[in-house]
């Protein structure tokens, strides 16, 4: 069976790569690796999500769901130092990298947790959840992430999703509308959609 970035314990030989990248007009240094989503640069979808995100009007923590090596959570933690950012992923190699990247970028208001979706995140209510979902894991997995996210959002909290049109943006949009009663296309760029739903 071929290995995916949503494998819990990647077996592929480690071959890390480090690069500098600008997000929200700030410079970051990231290291990624084989067996982790996006090894060579911050992928376009994550970058678009980071750039489009705006702070919810309610107090509370943020969740970077499926954080990978950490660009979304780290950039937001840096931009919103008064918020705590929980970064969750099932991939152990990704979590090690995310912790290293948070340290290297001098970001302290993050907490990392190994979790398959929100299975290990209990009794927590979030002001915002952001996800670049693991499309290759299948529609059923992605829809479950949306359902779990709605249950974990505080009233007035927001779910932000980036997804490509060719990878199911229209069906994701319909699913979010069914779940939340609302969905907004914040922006579209190069085939990527940024979707946002409010937990009312």
Instruction: Give the residue from 91, 48, 33 showing the smallest Cα distance to 67.
Output: 91
Burial degree of 99 (CB within 10 A; 0-12, 13-18, 19+): middle
Sign of CA dihedral 138, 41, 148, 92: positive
Instruction: Match domain 17-198 to its CATH number in 3.40.50.300, 3.40.50.150, 3.30.450.20, 3.30.2130.10.
Output: 3.40.50.150
Q: Is the pLDDT of residue 87 over 50?
A: yes
Residue-wise pLDDT tens digits, 159-171: 999 999 999 999 9
Say if CB 130 and CB 105 are below 8 A apart: no
Residue-wise pLDDT tens digits, 26-85: 999 999 998 887 777 899 999 999 999 999 999 999 999 999 999 999 999 999 999 999
Give the phi and the psi of residue 3 in degrees, each rounded to 5.
-90, 140
First to last CA, the chain: 42
* Domain limits, the chain: 17-198
Residue-wise pLDDT tens digits, 135-157: 888 899 999 999 999 999 999 99
Distance (Å) of CA 188 to CA 10, 15, 111 = 33, 33, 30
pLDDT of 11:
55
Instruction: Give the residue from 124, 121, 131, 110 showing the smallest Cα distance to 60.
Output: 124
For range 12-20, the mean pLDDT: 85
Rounded to 5°, the CA angle 16-22-28 comes to 50
Please state, in angstroms and rounded to a whole number, the distance separating the CA atoms of residues 156 and 72: 21
Q: What is the CA radius of gyration of the chain?
A: 16
Averaged confidence pLDDT in the chain:
92
Comparing 8 with 187, the larger pLDDT belongs to: 187
| Residue 24 CB contacts under 8 Å (≥ 6 apart), including other chains | 50, 51, 75, 79
Q: Is the pLDDT of residue 113 over 50?
A: yes
Distance (Å) of CA 64 to CA 9, 16, 21 = 20, 22, 19
């Amino acid at each position: 069976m071929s290995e995916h970035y949503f494998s819990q314990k990647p077996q592929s030989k480690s071959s890390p790569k480090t690069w500098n990248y600008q997000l929200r007009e700030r410079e970051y240094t990231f290291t990624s690796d084989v067996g982790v989503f996006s090894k060579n640069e911050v992928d376009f979808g994550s970058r678009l999500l980071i750039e489009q995100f705006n702070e919810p009007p309610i107090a509370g923590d943020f969740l970077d769901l499926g954080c990978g090596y950490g660009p979304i959570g780290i950039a937001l933690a840096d931009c919103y130092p008064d918020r705590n950012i929980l970064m969750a992923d099932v991939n152990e190699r990704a979590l090690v990298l995310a912790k290293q990247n948070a340290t290297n970028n001098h970001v302290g208001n993050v907490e990392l947790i190994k979790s398959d979706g929100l299975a290990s995140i209990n009794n927590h209510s979030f002001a915002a959840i952001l996800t670049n979902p693991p499309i290759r894991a299948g529609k059923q997995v992605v829809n479950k992430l949306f359902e779990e996210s709605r249950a974990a959002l505080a009233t007035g909290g927001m779910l932000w999703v980036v997804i490509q049109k060719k990878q199911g943006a229209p069906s994701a949009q319909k699913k979010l509308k069914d779940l939340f009663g609302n969905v907004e296309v914040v922006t579209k760029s190069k085939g990527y959609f940024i979707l946002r739903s409010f937990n009312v």
